[in-house]
Amino acid sequence: MIKRLTDLAKNETGTIVDFDETDPRLSVRLREIGFAEGDSVTPLHFGLFGKNPMSVRVNGALIALRRKDAHAILLKSIPTEVTP
């Protein structure tokens, strides 16, 4: 199963692996404002109704976006494996 930014709980950190290109304009917008592959993302705040919108910490910046748009940010699916 694909894990998305919207699947993270408050203060839970994930790593971006890819962008959902269904809406190519959206993924450009997300990249321009500062989301990129390899970045760690942590949701910090949620709005009152339906946890919408959400604010996400990425590389020291705080970016607010709606869940609909956050849905296009794909994360590493399994929690970081411990290397033996």
- Give the binding site for other proteins (CB under 8 A): 25-26, 28-34, 36-39, 44-50, 52-53, 55, 57-66, 68-69
C-beta of 49 vs 84, nearer to other proteins: 49
Query: For the chain, where are the E strands, in sequence order?
Result: 3-4, 14-19, 40-49, 52-58, 61-65, 73-75
| Cα 9 from Cα 7, distance rounded (Å) | 7
CB of 4 to other proteins, least distance (A): 15
C-beta of 48 vs 82, nearer to other proteins: 48
